[in-house]
Amino acid sequence: VRCNGPLGDVKGYSDLVEKHGGIGLLVVDVAVSTDKNGDFRRWHEELKGGSSEYSMERERDGRPPRERKTEYLILGVYAYFFTLDDLNKGVMEGWTDDDFQRTMRNANGERRKSKYRLKSREIPDEHLLLVKNFNVDPEEFEEQFPGNT
């Protein structure tokens, strides 16, 4: 099951794609475990010498800490290629957007740059170059993605 994933900032990606005529992306599909009881968060805070001012401000405001990922299991890797026209078309068609993080702030309080975000389940197959499956059955995705595995 592929999911939504943020890319780099819109201006940076647009400049890169325009300069090189396109961009290849590897999208890694993973199963994750998260820090349900807060042990990892406490260990991480201790390792870095305590909570940042940003984290303390979030707590004072009553906002919950962000969920931390503790383990990953790679399920598959998908290779895509996009031109600037493809990304613009993706925004129009809804399989990507270009305003992810626009309303968020960095730890220092500055506004974040807008990022592209792929909705990988919705990307047209014409952009898919390769699927690498990390499961036991090497042919598992052949029916779903003929010629790309």
Spell out the domain ranges in the chain.
Answer: 4-133
Least confident segment among 10-14, 29-33, 80-84? 29-33
Q: How far is CA 120 from the centre of its chain?
A: 10
Cβ atoms 86, 131 nearer than 8 A: no
C-alpha to C-alpha distance for 73 and 71, rounded to whole angstroms: 7
Sign of the CA dihedral with 88 first, then 92, 93, and 99 last? positive
C-alpha to C-alpha distance for 92 and 86, rounded to whole angstroms: 10
Q: How far is CA 97 from the centre of its chain?
A: 12
Does residue 2 have a pLDDT over 60? no
What DSSP letter does each residue of 74-106 carry, written as one string?
EEEEEEEEE-HHHHHHHHHHTSEEEEETTT-B-
Query: Roughly what angle, to the nearest 10 degrees, separates helices 84-93 and 10-20?
Result: 140
Count of H-run helices and E-run strands, the chain:
4, 6
Does residue 29 have a pLDDT over 70? yes
Q: Which range in 49-53, 72-76, 84-88, 117-121 is most confidently predicted, on average pLDDT?
A: 84-88
Segment 71-88 mean pLDDT: 88
pTM for the complete prediction? 0.67
Query: Which of the four pLDDT bands, split at 50, 70 and 90, describes residue 149?
Result: low
